[in-house]
């Protein structure tokens, strides 16, 4: 099995991952290495920059008793000599039991999955999808709010180019939630995604944070803009003044990295949970790796 998009995930799969992640939380927190994937190797192929996603997949593999090979700078690989993705995948197939891949080209991980029988996990493809992030975001809601059903979840920022929110829309649509969208007119959530989910879940555009139980801020994706001025115009900041307009029991999330979207002073507020959220990447990715790679035979 591959993990390429949340669009086609079943609720049963999502719930299974959340339950397994819960089971792994303690080991992840204690940085204790288990033996579930002993003898297994993960390939982490990062053709685009990454800190959290790459390192938390690697940490998750180590926590499960496995190991990893990979690269984080395609300039240091034969891709820079002109090697095709197909050849890279064929080669990596001989070195690993599963592949985690991030690529600037939308659909590249899906293409890789067609080329190999190994499980392929999409760790972000252009502006398209980032499914493991959406699963860890749901796990964060479960841990920090105690539930997912009944929540009003506000997605703020770059809803056009942000792949994390695209994946999160589909993942949330399995639950009884109200989704609120807050963005500049030029960075709205693609209509195709809203249309896909709106039969299952309520989606509306809002102009303030007042009703939200969860404020999910995103980075304006500078690398996807052709026009530098449009980028500058799209920037926004959640600062101390804005905090007073957010519910006292709400949580503030961000997939990180943040640039200007959340002022550093917000970190001191008890509602700020984005660093917790990045930690939850480890148990969630342990659950994903265990599910896709399976238990070791030896």
Rounded to a whole number of angstroms, the minimum distance from the CB of residue 127 to ligand NCD is: 9
Catalytic residue among 20, 40, 130, 160: 130
Instruction: Locate all alpha helices (DSSP H) within 184-297, ordered by sequence.
Output: 191-197, 228-233, 240-243, 274-293
Told to judge if 102 belongs to the known catalytic residues of this protein, a careful annotator would answer yes
Which is it for strands 98-103 and 120-125: parallel, antiparallel or unpaired? parallel
| Sign of the dihedral defined by the CA atoms of residues 129, 123, 220, 135, in that order | positive
Told to judge if 152 belongs to the known catalytic residues of this protein, a careful annotator would answer no
Q: Which among 16, 69, 20, 4 has a CA at the least distance from the CA of 40?
A: 69
CB-wise, 40 or 52, nearer to ligand NCD? 52
Rounded to a whole number of angstroms, the minimum distance from the CB of residue 221 to ligand NCD is: 6
Residue listed under structure tokens 């056009």: 160
Told to judge if 285 belongs to the known catalytic residues of this protein, a careful annotator would answer no
Q: 219: Cβ–Cβ under 8 A, 6 or more apart, which residues?
A: 157, 158, 162, 254, 255, 257, 258, 259, 261
CB-wise, 173 or 221, nearer to ligand NCD? 221
Residues that bind ligand NCD (CB under 6 A): 52-53, 124, 130, 133, 163-164, 219, 255-256
**What is the chain's length?**
298
Rounded to a whole number of angstroms, the minimum distance from the CB of residue 86 to ligand NCD is: 24
Told to judge if 245 belongs to the known catalytic residues of this protein, a careful annotator would answer no
CB-wise, 132 or 180, nearer to ligand NCD? 132
Rounded to a whole number of angstroms, the minimum distance from the CB of residue 58 to ligand NCD is: 14
Told to judge if 41 belongs to the known catalytic residues of this protein, a careful annotator would answer no
26 class by beta-carbon count within 10 Å (0-12 exposed, 13-18 middle, 19+ buried): exposed
CB-wise, 88 or 127, nearer to ligand NCD? 127
Distance, in Å, from the CA atom of 290 to the CA atom of 276, rounded to the nearest integer, reads 22
Catalytic residue among 5, 6, 44, 52: 52
Q: Which helix (H) or strand (E) holds 104?
A: none
Catalytic residue among 6, 44, 53, 164: 53
Distance, in Å, from the CA atom of 173 to the CA atom of 146, rounded to the nearest integer, reads 18
Lay out the sheet containing 41-46: strands in order across. 67-71, 41-46, 98-103, 120-125
Catalytic residue among 40, 63, 97, 102: 102
Rounded to a whole number of angstroms, the minimum distance from the CB of residue 277 to ligand NCD is: 9
CB 289 within 8 A of CB 66: yes
Rounded to a whole number of angstroms, the minimum distance from the CB of residue 132 to ligand NCD is: 9
Active site residues: 52-53, 81, 102, 130
């Amino acid at each position: 099995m591959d993990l390429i998009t949340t669009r086609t995930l079943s609720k049963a799969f999502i719930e299974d991952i959340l339950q397994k992640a819960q089971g792994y939380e303690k080991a992840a927190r204690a940085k204790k290495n288990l033996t579930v994937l002993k003898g297994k190797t993960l390939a982490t192929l990062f053709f685009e920059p990454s800190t959290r996603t790459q390192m938390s997949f690697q940490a998750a593999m180590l926590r499960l008793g496995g190991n990893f090979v990979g690269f984080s700078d395609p300039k240091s690989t034969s891709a820079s000599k002109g090697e095709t993705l197909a050849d890279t995948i064929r080669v990596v197939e001989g070195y690993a039991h599963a592949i985690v891949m991030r690529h600037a080209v939308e659909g590249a991980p899906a293409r890789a999955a067609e080329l190999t029988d190994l499980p392929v996990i999409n760790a972000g493809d252009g502006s398209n999808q980032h499914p493991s992030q959406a699963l860890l975001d749901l796990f964060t809601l479960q841990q920090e709010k105690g539930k997912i059903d009944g929540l009003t979840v506000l997605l703020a920022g770059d809803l056009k180019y942000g792949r994390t929110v695209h994946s999160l829309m589909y993942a949330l649509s399995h639950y009884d939630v109200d989704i609120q969208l807050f963005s500049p007119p030029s960075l709205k959530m693609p209509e195709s995604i809203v249309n896909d989910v709106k039969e299952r879940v309520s989606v509306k555009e809002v102009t303030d944070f007042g009703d939200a139980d969860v404020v999910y801020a995103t980075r304006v994706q500078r690398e996807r803009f052709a026009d530098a001025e449009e980028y500058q115009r799209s920037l926004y900041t959640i600062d101390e003044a804005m905090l007073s307009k957010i519910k006292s029991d709400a949580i503030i999330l961000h997939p990180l990295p943040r640039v200007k979207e959340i002022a550093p002073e917000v970190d001191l507020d008890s509602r700020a949970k984005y660093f917790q959220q990045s930690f939850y990447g480890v148990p969630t990715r342990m659950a994903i790796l265990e599910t896709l790679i399976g238990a070791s035979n030896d």
